[in-house]
Structure 1
Amino acid sequence: MEEAAFVSKVRELLGKEPKGPEVYKISIIFPNQDKYDGDCTRTSDGALERNGYGVHTTPDGIIYQGSWKNDKMNGLGRLEHPSGAVYEGEFKNNMFHGVGTYIFPNGAKYTGQFNENKLEGKGEFTDTQGLEWDGTFHYTAAPGLKLKLEM
């Protein structure tokens, strides 16, 4: 998905949430040199918490852009790693959880269900040779995986 379209979709979905606390736009650099640019709200004790859309980057090149809730990656997002690995999809409490696509550093790709960072459920896997496989995944196993043939 094109970045502008992705940002628009996340903001559209965020706009459907009920109105809550006042949202602030911030740019902050953490003591470990991580940087966050985006939306935040104040907790009941006055602390700022990432909530809404934002971009978090680390000094070593990890970039997350997407939805935040309760100071964690929650909702739709895209996480890029300097190795070339990319995950785009649903997050829950900083984990890949729901439907998403993971592109491995070697170019292989999995699209399907995730459960707490694990491939779990129906999905499709494209290997490094471009062959497409379809089936049910259970973390590191995929019993009954079938090669998709186009005839």
Structure 2
Amino acid sequence: MGICKSQAIPVGKDELETRNVEKKPIQEQHKIEEKKNDENEAALKIQSTIRGKKAKQEFEKQKEELLLDKPQDWTEYTQEFIEPKLPAYFKDKVNYIPTNKNRSLPPYLEPDGTIYKGQWNKGELNGFGQMLKPDGTYLKGLWKGNIFSEGGVLYPNGEFFIGNTQYGERCFTNGIIYQGEADYGIPHGKGQEIYPDGTKSNVQYNWGKKVQKDIKQNLQ
């Protein structure tokens, strides 16, 4: 007897089970993918939160370090720091640049009227800087622990010193150049004077005052 067209084609039990088995892995795969997506989104949120916390911590750290570097007894100088006109020899020899380990800040004014523009470290003058004192003395070079350690000093009378805390050159307005031992820009100890006419002599200074001089010797 033939099967009527209006009747559904009978499906065997084995075939139904096969179809259900084929559908089940697809549904489970979708669930697995959805779960992975949810897990990825959660992980991204956690990472974003961690990055946000780290950025905030880094900002707070930098803010704290900045506050530590700023001088306590100085006030920010609101006017422009103007470097005085420097002798050519001074400009050629004193050509330091800021160091990487110290913080550069805008000009600051000390209670006594001293203006300093340069680098600081934990509230102290450290690194490269320029200083203008109330009497007109100008310093340019390197500081360490609030002490000027190396560079050039231009005095109000036009004389200048180039060197460090123990040795350097003092150039006088009369054209004589002293080279030798010094104490923070002041000739102090043994050295040599070079004169405009090309002669030189061994000398000894005591806190800027000449106490001994040998006979001049011609450089030629």
In the superposition, the TM-score normalised over structure 2's length comes to: 0.49
Counterpart of 1:25? 104
Separation in 1, partners of 2:203, 2:174: 22
Counterpart of 1:104? 172
Larger radius of gyration: 2
Alignment of 1:51-90 (within 5 A): 51-74=126-149, 76-90=150-164
**Structure 2 counterpart SS, 1:82:** coil
Alignment of 1:105-120 (within 5 A): 105-115=173-183, 117-120=186-189
Flag structure 2 segments of 5+ consecutive residues without an equivalent: 1-88
In the superposition, the TM-score normalised over structure 1's length comes to: 0.69
Flag structure 1 segments of 5+ consecutive residues without an equivalent: 16-21, 43-47, 92-96
List per-residue Cα deviations over 1:125-150 (Å, max 9, x = no partner).
Answer: 134x635223252533235x131225
More helix by share: 2
Separation in 2, partners of 1:118, 1:2: 17
List per-residue Cα deviations over 1:97-122 (Å, max 9, x = no partner).
Answer: 12x1101233322112225634312x
Counterpart of 2:212? 142
Separation in 1, partners of 2:133, 2:205: 31
Separation in 1, partners of 2:153, 2:219: 32
Contact 2:94 2:140 in 1 (8 A): no
Separation in 2, partners of 1:134, 1:5: 24
**Structure 2 counterpart SS, 1:3:** helix
Amino acid across the alignment from 1:105: T
**Structure 1 counterpart SS, 2:94:** helix
Counterpart of 2:35? none
Contact 2:170 2:187 in 1 (8 A): no
Counterpart of 1:19? none
Alignment of 1:28-47 (within 5 A): 28-42=108-122
List per-residue Cα deviations over 1:54-112 (Å, max 9, x = no partner).
Answer: 100023321000110110111x2100011011011112xxxxx12x1101233322112
Contact 1:38 1:52 in 2 (8 A): yes
Q: Output the aligned Cα RMSD.
A: 2.7
Q: Relative CO higher for 1 or 2, CA cutoff 8 Å, sep ≥ 6?
A: 1
Separation in 2, partners of 1:59, 1:115: 21
Separation in 2, partners of 1:60, 1:115: 20
More strand by share: 1
Change beyond 3 A, Cα 1:106–1:134: closer
Separation in 1, partners of 2:181, 2:199: 16
